[in-house]
Amino acid sequence: DIQMTQSPSSLSASVGDRVTITCRASQSISSYLNWYQQKPGKAPKLLIYAASSLQSGVPSRFSGSGSGTDFTLTISSLQPEDFATYYCQQSYSTLSEGTFGGGTKVEIK
């Protein structure tokens, strides 16, 4: 099974900061990588699919990059509504318990 590792597990940032979250796959997954945002008590929301394609309705300050084993989610200018937990997810191979990364919590500095 492919394992997904996110870093950092949490970070503190201020409104207006540029934020980068990293996701690493245990083997190459080409561009089969999605990013989700989850706010407390709410369901996850799809942000990015196929590593870099922005889901309809998602603000352009969110962007994704990478291929193979290393991926990043970047928020170009952090907004108050962006404080949340972010998860990566691989869709390259058979889904398993390790399909999602462990999450990165973005908190207010």
Partner 1 sequence: EVQLVESGGGLVQPGGSLRLSCAASGFTFSSYWMHWVRQAPGKGLVWVSRINSDGSSTSYADSVKGRFTISRDNAKNTLYLQMNSLRAEDTAVYYCARDGSVLLWFGEFHWFDPWGQGTLVTVSS
Binding site for partner 1 (CB under 8 A): 30-32, 34, 36, 38, 42-46, 49-50, 53, 55, 87, 89, 91, 94-97, 99-103
Question: What is the bridge-based pairing of β-strands 10-13 and 104-108?
Answer: parallel
CA 56, 31, 20, 3 torsion-angle sign: positive
CB 21 within 8 A of CB 81: no
Q: Which is nearer to partner 1, 13 or 58 (CB)?
A: 58
Task: Name the minimum Å distance from CB 28 to partner 1.
Answer: 13
Q: Which is nearer to partner 1, 42 or 109 (CB)?
A: 42
Q: Which is nearer to partner 1, 17 or 63 (CB)?
A: 63
Q: How many CB atoms lie within 10 A of CB 7?
A: 12
